[in-house]
Amino acid sequence: DAMVIQNPRYQVTQFGKPVTLSCSQTLNHNVMYWYQQKSSQAPKLLFHYYDKDFNNEADTPDNFQSRRPNTSFCFLDIRSPGLGDAAMYLCATSRGGNREKLFFGSGTQLSVL
């Protein structure tokens, strides 16, 4: 089935140790998003790619970076994770039209020790 796949499901890293979260899609969608969701809070958009065009949210910390080497894959890099970066990270895709809905992966739960 076509889908959005996030690996790993759970990720544990140490304070300050770089970590990369992965997302792949078989939907051939133009847009890929990264959301951060902390417990009982709204998913917060970090950035998105429309094809190769990167769009960063104004309040996304510099500690968070993203790469999209091709249509199918998108990575979230956290250069120096802090305790406050522990959260669920959700990847989503869409075709990019004005009325297009988002398709989400199952998320990666990041713990920072």
Partner 1 sequence: DQQVKQNSPSLSVQEGRISILNCDYTNSMFDYFLWYKKYPAEGPTFLISISSIKDKNEDGRFTVFLNKSAKHLSLHIVPSQPGDSAVYFCAARYNNNDMRFGAGTRLTVKP
Question: Which residue number, 14 or 41, has a Cβ lying nearer to partner 1?
Answer: 41
Tell me: does residue 45 bind partner 1 (CB under 8 A): yes
CB 81 within 8 A of CB 110: yes
Q: How far is the CB of 113 from partner 1 (least distance, A)?
A: 22
Q: Give the integer Cα–Cα distance in Å for 84 and 25.
A: 28
Instruction: Pick from 20, 26, 28, 55 the residue near partner 1 by CB under 8 A.
Output: 55
Alpha helices in the chain (DSSP H): none
Half-sphere exposure of residue 19, counting CA atoms within 13 Å on the CB side? 23
Tell me: does residue 74 bind partner 1 (CB under 8 A): no
Task: Work out whether strand 103-104 and strand 10-13 pair parallel, antiparallel, or are unpaired.
Answer: unpaired
Q: Which residues bind partner 1 (CB under 8 A)?
A: 4, 6, 31, 33, 35, 40-45, 48, 50, 55, 90, 92, 94, 96-99, 101-107
